[in-house]
Amino acid sequence: MLMITRRAGERVIIGGNIVVTLVEVSGQTARIGIEAPKSMPIFREEIWVEVMRENEAAAQAASGRLPDVVAPLTPPATTAASTTPANVVDPSGPGDSGAAPESAPPPSPAK
């Protein structure tokens, strides 16, 4: 890892289009300003790691693990913006509205 010592107000330039500014140092905390192209996502590491782990956990699902029919316990929100799934492919054929079924009993909730 490249280590660079900076004083408050000093900057580091990465790749010509990313500027990292050490804004302020106070005790154990440093405030860092980052200017980068808007297309470049920037995350706090701990949040990025949390989401990565959740994605990895989701990706472990076996194809048979999902219940065939599960009725949500809470009704769909009516005030929400449109969430009509676009780009949905149904390999078993067309004709699904995307709505959740209403006929199945919900699974017993955990205590």
Partner 1 sequence: MTVTLQSTRFGAVEIDEAAVVEFPDGLIGLGGHRYTLLRPQPDSPFLWLHSLDDPGLALPVTNPHLFFAEFALVLDDDVAVQLGIDADSSVAVYVTVRTAESPADFAANLRAPIIVRDGRGHQVLNQAPGCELRAPLFRADSAAASAA
Site of interaction with partner 1 (CB under 8 A)? 38-39, 41, 43, 47-63, 65-70, 72-77, 80-93, 95-96, 98, 100-101, 106-111
CB of 73 to partner 1, least distance (A): 4
Nearer of residues 4 and 86 to partner 1, judged by Cβ: 86
Distance CA(35)–CA(74), nearest Å, equals 42
- Residue with tokens 């999902």, as numbered in its chain: 66
Nearer of residues 33 and 106 to partner 1, judged by Cβ: 106
CB of 19 to partner 1, least distance (A): 15
Nearer of residues 5 and 60 to partner 1, judged by Cβ: 60
Question: What's at 63, amino acid-wise?
Answer: S
Nearer of residues 13 and 52 to partner 1, judged by Cβ: 52
In order of 1, 12, 64, 89, 109, the CA distances from 7 in angstroms are 19, 11, 56, 54, 55
CB of 110 to partner 1, least distance (A): 4
